[in-house]
A and B are shown apart, each in its own frame.
Chain A
């Protein structure tokens, strides 16, 4: 068989736009998702009982349903209830809700294994409870689970390909679009696969590296 990449390179701009969209929407979802996860994880330990049950329900619901169904629910289902969201926003929302549920579990685990003595040590230094939480508890906790968070984020990044199904114009959408115009399925998906692999590896390395910056005391340990 003969490979011909001319048709694919002709649509290069589309692939670049798609890649940028994929990265931007995933990173945004990851950041917002992590903030929500910290809130939910701590909430699950301290908030009122009703709120705890609500958070638990959300986490279990998201972790036990397929991402694409969540996406379709937001994009196709919510409009019937009068909430109309465009494809890009729906994709961002679905990714955020999805990643934050998984992050919540990871962060909650990290917080729960924090020894009680650590809180007491913080308090003994005269820090206020909020300072204790952020500096003495949360930061070491995140440091412990950072590789797990990075792994989960990579999974979500790759799973984000599903958003092409609601016409969000991500990297997969670009690939499918070019394929439908050129019929060069093999060439198109070779290129798309390589871009995904390159992006995923780059993001992963970058995040692990930044873990060393965020939690400098770990650098010696590993």
Chain B
């Protein structure tokens, strides 16, 4: 019985595979229809959220628009959550997912990833003139971090006894401690740092070194090398000509760190 079912399944899969037209790629489809559908986050500023004019805004939205512009097609933005973004892609409801998504071996079983296009990292921040460029330089400095956060675990593992790590209850308290000068260095995620830079333009929150990097990648349906290749060239060129840097400064308040390629 099991064998028969398996055989049937294999036959069906083969038949389906043969049914796909060999010539037209997904990229050609998009160019022909003059429209690309892109999944974006709706509740994760500054990557993607709903602006005061009720339109989606954020880094991911700007990247999506930039892709459409460079392809010379229209863009349709589809708001997704982190739970449904991969199913949306697999069922063909969207062509791409640009939704602050990290690449993992587990996810790579289901979809393809491009080169990294967005920064997502934990870093040490301090005043502009603070001479710190590595964990070793933290000796003799007081370092503020939110207790139990990814950053706390990471900095506690790396730091020597000489640094004075102060742990606070939540992000708000940690930020207050940094802004009031109670700690010299703030260790936090770049998204949090971006928010401080935006809300408190006078505060000096300059990146000293990156602690842990887990950047974001564009997701696409498995199978179309043409589209993947186009996207990778797009990301590479936008990194070289500084357009991605400009978007990073606009939304995260700082330039891009080194982003990995595939």
Contact = CB atoms under 8 A, between A and B. Distances in A.
Interface of A: 75-77, 79-80, 84, 86-87, 164-167, 173, 176-177, 179-181
Contacts of A79: 180-182
B90 interface: no
B166 A87 contact: yes
A193 to B, nearest CB: 19
A165 B169 contact: yes
Contact of A177 (B147, B173, B177, B182): B147
A84 B181 contact: yes
A28 to B, nearest CB: 21
Given A176-B147, A177-B167, A180-B152, A167 B177 contact: yes
Contacts of B169: 164-165, 176
B148 interface: yes
B148 A84 contact: no
A167 B181 contact: no
What are the 5 tightest A-B residue pairs by CB atom distance, in nearest-first order? A180-B148, A79-B180, A167-B166, A76-B180, A76-B176
B209 interface: no
B168 interface: yes
Contacts of B182: 75-76, 79, 84, 86-87, 166
A79 B144 CA distance: 16
A80 B167 CA distance: 21
Contacts of B177: 75-76, 166-167
Interface string B116-154: 000000000000000000000000000010011000100
A179 B167 CA distance: 13
Contacts of A87: 166, 182
21 contacts: A75-B177, A75-B182, A76-B182, A77-B180, A79-B180, A79-B181, A80-B180, A84-B180, A84-B182, A86-B182, A87-B166, A87-B182, A167-B168, A167-B177, A173-B167, A176-B147, A176-B169, A177-B147, A180-B147, A180-B148, A181-B148
Contacts of B152: 180
Contacts, number: 41
A77 B177 CA distance: 10
A87 B180 CA distance: 12
A79 B166 CA distance: 17
A176 to B, nearest CB: 6
Given A76-B180, A84-B182, 13 more contacts: A76-B176, A77-B180, A79-B181, A79-B182, A84-B181, A87-B182, A166-B173, A166-B177, A166-B182, A176-B147, A177-B147, A180-B148, A181-B148
A79 B182 CA distance: 8
Nearest to A75: B182
Interface in B181-231: 181-182
Contacts of B144: 167
Nearest to B153: A181
A177 to B, nearest CB: 7
B90 to A, nearest CB: 34
Contacts of A179: 148
A80 B168 CA distance: 19
A167 B180 contact: no
A51 B166 CA distance: 39
A13 to B, nearest CB: 14
B168 to A, nearest CB: 6
Contacts of A77: 180
A77 B182 CA distance: 11
Nearest to B146: A180
Contacts of B166: 87, 167
Nearest to A183: B148
A75, A86, A180: which has the most chain B beta carbons within 10 Å?
A180
B188 to A, nearest CB: 15
A10 to B, nearest CB: 15
B167 to A, nearest CB: 6
Given A176-B147, A177-B147, A165 B181 contact: no
Nearest to A79: B180
Contacts of A164: 169
Contacts of A176: 147, 169
A68 B189 CA distance: 27
A176 B168 CA distance: 10
Nearest to A90: B182
Contacts of A80: 180
A17 to B, nearest CB: 14
A136 B238 CA distance: 86
